[in-house]
Structure 1
Amino acid sequence: MNATSPLVSIRGVSRAFGDVVALDDVSLDIQENEFFALLGPSGCGKTTLLRVIAGFEQPDSGAVLLSGDDLLGLPPHRRPVNLMFQSYALFPHMSVEKNIAYGLEREGLPKEEIRTRVAEVLTTVGLSDLARRRPNQLSGGQRQRVALARAIVKRPRLLLLDEPLSALDRKVRAEMQLELKRLQHEVGITFVVVTHDQEEAMSMADRIAVMGSGRVQQVDSPIDLYQRPATRFVADFIGTSNQFTGTAAEGGVLVNGVVLPGQPTGGAPTGAAVLVVRPEDTRLVDEASAYVSGTVVDTQFYGGVSTVAVEVPGHGAPVLHTRPGAPEADRGAVVHISWDAAKAVVLAG
């Protein structure tokens, strides 16, 4: 295998449950030591794909390769892959260290090696002082760390995480996002996380596959997904955006007789098109420099940033303008909006 070969290659994987198509010809490459996220709404196929990789689901067609070797021919327990469940699935009657050691004991490893590896991983996840406690004596974040320790102590080449932070409150979840990223770098294992939370995926992943209706819509870095969405689905799902629907035209999209400027992400669309502009990429200008004008219908101030909602005649939803600091305009004011054409994306409608 050369240096650029992927660790995991998913090729043309499909899976249907009766009339419901969960996976529709999915192909993906995941690199060694990458933190990779499968992101999408409920029912998009991301958990089914995770279960196919783990061996708990058999696809109807396609191939899954690990370093070029067929994974589908191996039962789950023979794959160098570990799946950390959403529920954590800890044994309530066992201590933290016993929970972590369980998988190694099942493999029949020498007691001294088990003791050493458990001590090492307890240090890595910061739970050495809690080794003798049971799960019901731990916080949600601590239980999550135990489940993670139990998964990485077996030193899998690939760790799969199914909505790993969904049971945690917002503050702990933010802390654990940083912790997961740190651990992934420290232990040198490829992580694949399934989540419907875009903030979670954007903060942790090196690359993200956005899934919808059983298909991969786009695979990219968080920054490229946000700044250069490839489809309207991705633009809708990732972040907040202003969308102007019209007809593809030279230099942008023709909306209500005016060409609003922007650039296509790939080949220029023809016919129905949509112009996508992020609220923070808009600016308030004088009337002569404006692309659209309207009346402020709402303002929101969040401390660090503020958002102004502007009702533009002929446009269905308010146009949002976000800026650092306090709002620039009050409710009822007439304002004029512009943007840099290089930061506006033209997509097929």
Structure 2
Amino acid sequence: MTLVSVEGVTRRFGDVTALDDLSLEVRQGEFFALLGPSGCGKTTLLRVLAGFDLPDSGAVTLEGEDLLRLPAHRRPVNLMFQSYALFPHMTVEKNIAYGLEREGLPRAEIRQRVGEVLETIGLTSAARRRPAQLSGGQRQRVALARAIVKRPRLLLLDEPLSALDKKVRAEMQLELKRLQHEAGITFLVVTHDQEEAMSLADRIAVLNHGKVEQIDTPVALYQRPRTRFVADFVGANNLFTGTLRENGVEIPGLGLLPCKAPSEPSADRPVDLAVRPENVRLAPGPLRGTVLDVSFYGGTSRVAVGVEGREEPVLVNVSGAVTVLTGGHVELAWDPEDAVLIPGG
């Protein structure tokens, strides 16, 4: 069931078009992510949904009701800021209760709801502490608790984990998923971190220059990108531009590279061929090159191979350590079904 519908929304700032006839739908109860580079329109869309900005054209509805006619404070939407914006002079429980107190709810109900959310985030014992006495991860939990205690129908999160170090960020990714599931609230997160979006979201919308490039599940987005931008932006990829032939893709200077024949054959048209590094093997195949670099990451190694006739190296991910050395000559191969064809070239 659709909770939020964005239809043909455009927002301009002078000569800059932040949102360009953008449309998407967010389903009830899902964890939805907006992913894209800086300046792609993610935060502008978030501000439109929160009520801090109005589009020049288009419609936004929540369960069929016009959201744009409501001021920010009357929308069943809450926004968790990137900076957390906690009150430093208030205790944890006072920070969480602040919004409920402003709404004039009975004290007994406020105490009950604050107590429930403190238990959910695992900070009951820290209820009387102030933000300065908490770790970064704990402050993030308090900010999230303050947002969900008001029980919004939609919770917006702007780069929620960007202020955390890598280890705490990984822990909080799991925590966010758990809290979202337990709270039963629809989450919409804005991020430029691919790993964060892939690990958190049920579905992801990839934005570029104010437009939607693709909306899909993380697995489908990674395995079957529909545009060159998505293939290049989401994870590492080896991209080759050439012409589709009956038995492969002909790449200028490299020859014919293998791919699975499309369901609707249409030879002699421009295409991009995308092959993920983990699908490339150091084995006899159509490409030959020289090892430029070998990087070991513990569980995997990444090998960069320079191929004559191609400016960028071909990346190969190998499980564990590799025996090839920088300067060595190797051949590269992949299975045809592991190569993704992208129209346009």
Task: For 2:133 and 2:86, locate their aligned partners in 1 and report how far apart those are by CA, in whole Å.
Answer: 12
User: Would you say 1:332 and 2:327 are equivalent positions?
Assistant: yes
User: Would you say 1:25 and 2:21 are equivalent positions?
Assistant: yes
Code of the residue aligned with 1:185 in structure 2: it is H
The TM-score, its normalising length taken from structure 2, stands at: 0.96
User: Would you say 1:284 and 2:279 are equivalent positions?
Assistant: no
Match of 2:89 among 86, 93, 97: 93
The TM-score, its normalising length taken from structure 1, stands at: 0.95
Alignment of 1:178-193 (within 5 A): 178-193=174-189
Change (3 A) 1:180 1:270: farther
SS state of the match for residue 205, structure 2?
Answer: strand
Alignment of 1:139-288 (within 5 A): 139-255=135-251, 256=253, 258-263=255-260, 271-286=269-284
Change (3 A) 1:183 1:264: farther
Task: For 1:269 and 1:62, locate their aligned partners in 2 and report how far apart those are by CA, in whole Å.
Answer: 39
Q: Name the count of aligned residue pairs.
A: 342
SS state of the match for residue 7, structure 1?
Answer: strand
SS state of the match for residue 154, structure 1?
Answer: coil
Match of 1:83 among 79, 82, 91: 79
Q: Deviations over 1:271-296 (max 9, x none)?
A: 4322110010011223xxx1211111
2:254/2:287 contact within 8 Å kept: no
1:252/1:275 contact within 8 Å kept: no
Change (3 A) 1:270 1:21: farther
1:265/1:345 contact within 8 Å kept: no
Code of the residue aligned with 2:41 in structure 1: it is G
2:303/2:317 contact within 8 Å kept: yes
Q: Following TM superposition, by how much is the alpha carbon of 1:261 offset from its aligned partner in structure 2, in angstroms?
A: 2.0
SS state of the match for residue 132, structure 1?
Answer: coil
2:34/2:191 contact within 8 Å kept: yes
Task: For 1:118 and 1:150, locate their aligned partners in 2 and report how far apart those are by CA, in whole Å.
Answer: 9
Residue ranges of structure 1 left out of the alignment (5+ in a row): none
1:230/1:266 contact within 8 Å kept: no
Code of the residue aligned with 2:256 in structure 1: it is V
Task: For 2:110 and 2:248, locate their aligned partners in 1 and report how far apart those are by CA, in whole Å.
Answer: 62
What percent of counterpart residues are identical? 68
Q: Deviations over 1:134-168 (max 9, x none)?
A: 11111111111110000000000110000011111
Task: For 1:263 and 1:141, locate their aligned partners in 2 and report how far apart those are by CA, in whole Å.
Answer: 46
SS state of the match for residue 88, structure 1?
Answer: coil
Change (3 A) 1:264 1:233: farther
2:247/2:261 contact within 8 Å kept: no
SS state of the match for residue 2, structure 2?
Answer: coil
Q: Deviations over 1:101-160 (max 9, x none)?
A: 011111111100000000000000011011011111111111111100000000001100
Alignment of 1:335-346 (within 5 A): 335-346=330-341
1:264/1:346 contact within 8 Å kept: no
Q: What is the root-mean-square deviation of aligned Cα atoms in Å?
A: 1.6
Code of the residue aligned with 1:196 in structure 2: it is H
1:264/1:345 contact within 8 Å kept: no
Change (3 A) 1:298 1:48: same
Q: Following TM superposition, by how much is the alpha carbon of 1:30 offset from its aligned partner in structure 2, in angstroms?
A: 0.6
SS state of the match for residue 28, structure 2?
Answer: coil
Identify which range, 36-45 or 297-306, moves more after superposition. Answer: 297-306
Match of 1:36 among 32, 35, 45: 32
Task: For 1:76 and 1:201, locate their aligned partners in 2 and report how far apart those are by CA, in whole Å.
Answer: 26
Change (3 A) 1:70 1:265: farther
Residue ranges of structure 2 left out of the alignment (5+ in a row): none
Code of the residue aligned with 2:35 in structure 1: it is L
Change (3 A) 1:161 1:270: farther
